[in-house]
Amino acid sequence: MKADRILLSHGSGGRLSHQLIKDLLVPTFDNPLLNRLDDGAIFQTNATRLVMTTDSYVVDPIFFPGGDIGKLAVSGTVNDLAVMGATPRYLSLGLLIEEGFLLEDLRRILDSIRKTCQQAGVEIVTGDTKVVPRGSLDKIFINTSGVGEIPEGLELSGRIQPGDRIIINGTIGDHGTTILAQREGLNMDTPLQSDCAPLNDLIASLRPFAGEIRLMRDPTRGGVATTLNEFVEGAPVGIDLYEEKLPFRQEVRALCEILGIDPLFLANEGKVILVVSARISEQVLATLREQPLGQEATVIGEVTADHPGRVVLETNLGTRRILDMLTGEQLPRIC
């Protein structure tokens, strides 16, 4: 790391985040479970394989179309467990609350957490609350940790191969553009809405194909482009992504074009990217499309032996460009 101070970009989920983790955090706490850098740690107790994950949520605004910080916290942690092949079971809940925060808003957030837990079939079994002086943080921060159980016999290979298909369960960039529009007071003719949702039921429907599902990830911070780069980082394969196949809502595309922002780097909170063998890709698509959160599932790319370690976008103009990890923070175009 060349910077001598932490920057906002270190929390963007992009290249600086990866450098912070690999250059500082992993060497400090070096161990086999951590060094895999998965969305959760897989470990075994007796005959049971468990997954543990944790995440913190600092979204602004805390209430937005399609969700709120409470729904986001539960969904994000549930999804991190689900993409590891686990059935989510138990969550912890840590609340950091600014002095002066409205009790009415706290009740609203807690009710949202309760409803999302019921939807996902998980329970809050422990937690902690801290109140800090006014101005020490922005309203409320939430940390959730989760534990899930991997069903016996379920195994994701983790080894992507040329010819494998890249599938996403729906439209890209919905959450990121919704938060941006709310934060900046931008009004669209068609209201934007976050895709925030727990995906464990949708992902569980794919268990019959587990042997030929290579990888699953939820493309949150850093977006689709950064997640795909993580798949091929240091690997002997690359990914071809097809612009004509990328699913965007019209209002998402319009807002990103106005602001000069690439939606492939925007956060998603109700999406999963899968790498599956070509042989079962159509069956996986059909299964996803039977689920409420998978009706717009589509193949968006393919693993290739060409350009190893790179993600290359084939544009609608017939050109090709390299998609790198998110570097820094995306800013609206100003000139």
Residues in Cβ contact with 124 at an 8 Å cutoff, skipping those fewer than 6 apart = 90, 91, 92, 93, 113, 117
> For the chain, what is the total number of helices (H) and then of strands (E)?
10, 14
What pairing do the DSSP bridges indicate for beta strands 320-323 and 298-304?
A: unpaired
Q: What is the pLDDT of residue 11?
A: 85
pLDDT digits (tens, 9 = 90+) for 275-299: 999 999 999 999 999 999 999 999 9
Q: What is the pLDDT of residue 144?
A: 98
- Percentage of the chain beyond pLDDT 70 is 97
Lowest mean pLDDT: which of 157-171, 179-193, 206-220?
A: 179-193
pLDDT digits (tens, 9 = 90+) for 289-333: 999 999 999 999 999 999 999 999 999 999 999 999 887 777 666
Lowest mean pLDDT: which of 1-10, 73-82, 217-226?
A: 1-10
Per-residue pLDDT band for 157 (boundaries 50, 70, 90) equals low
Q: What is the pLDDT of residue 2?
A: 62
On the question of pLDDT at 171 being above 80, the answer is yes
Please state the domain extents for the chain. 38-150, 165-323
Asked: is 165-323 a CATH 3.90.650.10 domain? The reply is yes
Task: Please state, rounded to an integer, the average pLDDT across all residues of the chain.
Answer: 93
On the question of pLDDT at 1 being above 60, the answer is no
Rounded distance between C-alpha atoms, residue 141 and residue 266, angstroms: 21
Q: What is the pLDDT of residue 187?
A: 77
Q: Looking at residues 171-183, what average pLDDT do you find?
A: 94
Rounded distance between C-alpha atoms, residue 141 and residue 69, angstroms: 8
Which residue, among 64, 92, 67, 66, has the nearest Cα to 78 in the 3D structure? 92
pLDDT digits (tens, 9 = 90+) for 25-47: 999 999 999 999 888 999 999 88
- Percentage of the chain beyond pLDDT 90 is 81
Token pair listed for 102: 């409205």
pLDDT digits (tens, 9 = 90+) for 118-128: 999 999 999 99
CB atoms within 10 A of CB 272: 25
Query: Which residue did the predictor score with more confidence, 78 or 12?
Result: 78
Tell me phi and psi for residue 320, to 5 degrees. Answer: -130, 140
pTM for the predicted model, two decimal places: 0.94
Q: Which amino acid, 141?
A: F
* DSSP for 201-212, written as a single string: HHHHTTGGGGGG
Looking at domain 38-150, its CATH architecture is 2-Layer Sandwich (3.30)
How open is the CA angle 289-290-294, to the nearest 5 degrees? 40
**Cβ-count burial of 157 within 10 angstroms (0-12 exposed, 13-18 middle, 19+ buried)?**
middle
Which 8-state DSSP code applies to residue 164? P
Q: Which amino acid, 272?
A: V
For residue 250, what is the enclosing H or E element?
A: helix 250-259
Tell me phi and psi for residue 202, to 5 degrees. Answer: -60, -45
Q: What is the pLDDT of residue 275?
A: 97
* DSSP for 43-57, written as a single string: EEETTEEEEEEEEEE
Q: What is the pLDDT of residue 141?
A: 98
